[in-house]
Amino acid sequence: MPRIVMKFGGTSMAGIERIRNVADRVRREAQAGNEVLVVVSAMAGETDRLVQLCREAAALHDPKEYDVVVASGEQVTAGLLAMTLQNMGLNARSFMGWQLVRASGVHGNARVEAVESALLDEALGSGTVAVIPGFQGVSGEGRLATLGRGGSDTSAVALAAGVNADRCDIYTDVDGVYTTDPRIVPRARKLEAITFEEMLELAGVGAKVLQPRSVGLAMRENLPLRVLSAFEDKPGTRVVAELSGADMERHQIAGIAADRSEARITLTGIADRPGTLAAVVGPLAQAAIAFDMIVHAATPSAGASDLTFSVPRASLALALSTIEGRKAEIGYAELIHDSAVAKVSIVGVGIRSNPELAARMFDVLAERRINLLAVSASEIKLSVLVAEAEVDLAVRVLHSAFGLDEQAEPAGAAA
């Protein structure tokens, strides 16, 4: 008998009427002959309310106590969904995170270590729908531990892996993964399928459909995901290890992402000698500042050069003071920064095998006279740093140029 995990987000669980709608979907899957494990989020707004209470209680609070408070939201929805399912005539029961999910690492942002699957196997095997609060487990010390915001996705994937589920379906308030943000590009298209790697890169640069950690875990476990609407009957987007068959016909680029949380730092007139780069990068790494997109434009004739890189805007002040504190050691003329920048990325498994996609990206942006402040690349992602004012234009022209627009012109025109 196929075994599936269904995960429902906070919007789908907000109130008894919506919980009944969720129960209807669960019933359909159970009656279609599946063994069903359901992972639920807290009602929309509830976690924020609980976090706010913690802040009011103490500005700086013990993450272990924070976990006790915020874990309660999913406990409530798990019990309510279980009784709603029973009321529909299904066998159903809730299990608590502390009964099943061993977590480790930092409280408030713990990782799933293991799933006690024996209890679940017994329940699922006997035709009982298991309902489990997402976002939480129990620490080695025996205390409640939460997995960080969005952690219910990770709970769902970890539980799916733990019970050897055939599939994990993530029900949410959007109906799938899009080629880009439809608010920027109205002709953004829903993808039928996307690879784990692509999903990770899209999540990493700003698409917020799935918690990145859950995608990484699904990739490691090779567990197929589906992202679909809790409110409409639509097929959604499959997230898989490799595209196959019809999916291969897809354009080489899966999507375009924009990330407005970047800032740019430039050091001018740094000495062209070994170790200069390390003198800058080392202290930043020590301060746990994520830096990216390093451009080192050497001008050998002058014996000095400029160094540009990007950091998260939230870390800008810390990054600047860190560098200023090392001025003598590093040796630079000026320290310049700019918060009005953003990163635009094209993501797709095609990039790996097709170097001309990068060339096309630069051409298209140059045609529109969009200035590239920095460039970085991974195997399946190409990112450029541009002025924030030019982000939307950059996303739109790239979306169109890579043939991603809904009802796009024939492939020839895009290629």
Please give the residue ranges that form the binding site for a copy of itself (CB under 8 A).
Answer: 16, 19, 50, 53-54, 56-58, 60-62, 64-69, 71-73, 75-76, 78-80, 82-84, 86-87, 93-94, 96, 98-99, 142, 144
CA dist., res. 214 & res. 338, Å (int)? 33
Cβ proximity to a copy of itself: between 48 and 192 the closer is 48
The nearer residue to a copy of itself, 93 or 337, going by C-beta atoms, is 93
Spatial CB neighbours of 54, under 8 Å, sequence gap ≥ 6: 61, 65, 66, 69, 70
Q: How far is the CB of 211 from a copy of itself (least distance, A)?
A: 23
Are the C-beta atoms of 340 and 289 separated by less than 8 Å?
no
User: What is the smallest separation between the CB atom of 138 and a copy of itself, expressed in angstroms?
Assistant: 10
CA-to-CA distance for 106 and 405, rounded, in angstroms? Answer: 42
Q: How far is the CB of 343 from a copy of itself (least distance, A)?
A: 37
Decide the pairing of beta strands 167-172 and 3-8: parallel
| Strand positions, DSSP E, 66-126 | 92-94, 101-104, 111-115
Smallest distance from a copy of itself to CB 243, Å: 41
Give me the least distance between CB of 264 and a copy of itself, in Å please.
Answer: 39
Closest contact distance (angstroms) between CB of 161 and a copy of itself is 23
Place of tokens 């790697």: 197
Residues 113 and 104 sit within 8 Å (Cβ to Cβ):
yes
Choose between 56 and 249: whose C-beta lies nearer to a copy of itself. 56
Nearer to a copy of itself, 134 or 176 (CB): 134
From 193, 200, 192, select the one nearest 218 (Cα to Cα): 200
Alpha-carbon gap, residue 100 to 213, rounded angstroms: 19
Angstrom distance (rounded) from CA 350 to CA 252: 4
Give the nearer residue to a copy of itself in terms of CB position, either 19 or 185: 19
Scanning the structure block, which residue is given the tokens 């996307």?
194
Give the nearest distance from C-beta 70 to a copy of itself in angstroms.
8
Smaller CB distance to a copy of itself: residue 54 or 156?
54
User: What tokens were used for 110?
Assistant: 């713990």
Question: In what side-by-side order are the strands of the sheet with 136-138?
Answer: 111-115, 101-104, 136-138, 144-146
Closest to 344 (Cα-Cα) out of 206, 174, 152:
206
**Residue (83 or 387) nearer to a copy of itself, CB:** 83
Structure tokens at 302: 């002058």
CB of 97 to a copy of itself, least distance (A): 11
**Closer to a copy of itself by Cβ: residue 54 or 330:** 54
CA dihedral sign, ordered 71, 76, 79, 80: negative
